[in-house]
Each structure stands twice: as C-alpha cells, then as structure tokens.
Amino acid sequence: DAGVIQSPRHEVTEMGQEVTLRCKPISGHNSLFWYRQTMMRGLELLIYFNNNVPIDDSGMPEDRFSAKMPNASFSTLKIQPSEPRDSAVYFCASSPIQGSNQPQHFGDGTRLSIL
C-alpha cells in the first residue's frame, strides 16, 4: 500500500523565494497534518485538516506560511517569502478521521534549506 507521499524530498532555494511543498495522503484518510522538525524545537504541528477543512492552524509561525487542501488527495504548504530560519524538515501525516485517536502515518519529509 502506498504511504504518505511528499515532494520534493529536498529543496534548496535563496532567501525571498516562494517555496511550495506537496503532500498526497493515504487513500481513505480524512485527516491531514503538516509538521516541522528542527534540532532546537523537535517536531511541531503547524496545521491540520479534517475533510479538507483547516481545523487548527495555531502552529503556523506567521503570515508567510499558508496551507491548502483543495481535495482529499492533495495538500500544499507554501512559504512566501522564505527566510533562512525556515530551514527544517517538513513532514506531512495522515490518519482516518473515525476514532480521533487513530495513529498518524508520516511521509518521509521535505528537507528545506533557505540560503
């Protein structure tokens, strides 16, 4: 079975550029989560969706970050303009919505470097 698919796996870009990260959740999963992982802060939830609707975006660091889920099989996380402190590994995860304590299944992440 296909797991959560993220692209690109690596992204290197210059400060000020727009960055778009993509995620395809596991088929049949109705909840989708975006996390950021750094050495200093560990794994932090940025935003999550249920049935394509954003439920909690309190972890989104600032207005430069935005996330969308136009349909059940695709989500994007956009940073505009990017800054060096945005460098991190960004993970997408999905889970079934039935039984809200179902485990989240993670993709292999996008390693983002902002120069």
Q: Is residue 101 near another protein by the rule CB under 8 A?
A: yes
Nearer to another protein, 17 or 38 (CB): 38
Contacting another protein within 3-32 (CB under 8 A): 4, 31
The residue within the footprint of another protein, chosen from 1, 2, 42, 70 (CB under 8 A), is: 42
Nearer to another protein, 17 or 102 (CB): 102
- Work out how close the CB of 10 gets to another protein at its nearest, in angstroms, rounded to a whole number: 10
- Work out how close the CB of 55 gets to another protein at its nearest, in angstroms, rounded to a whole number: 7
- Work out how close the CB of 47 gets to another protein at its nearest, in angstroms, rounded to a whole number: 10
The residue within the footprint of another protein, chosen from 12, 15, 55, 115 (CB under 8 A), is: 55
Q: Is the N-terminal amide bond of 8 cis, ω within 30° of 0?
A: yes
> Residue 9, by phi and psi: left (phi above 0), alpha (psi -120 to 50) or beta?
alpha
CA distance 43 to 20: 20
- Give rounded-to-5 percent helix, strand, coil for the chain: 5, 55, 45
Contact between 89 and 107 (Cβ < 8 Å): no
Contacts of residue 20, Cβ cutoff 8 Å, sequence gap at least 6? 76, 77, 78
Q: Which residues bind another protein (CB under 8 A)?
A: 4, 31, 33, 42-45, 48, 50, 55-56, 91, 93, 95, 100-101, 103-109
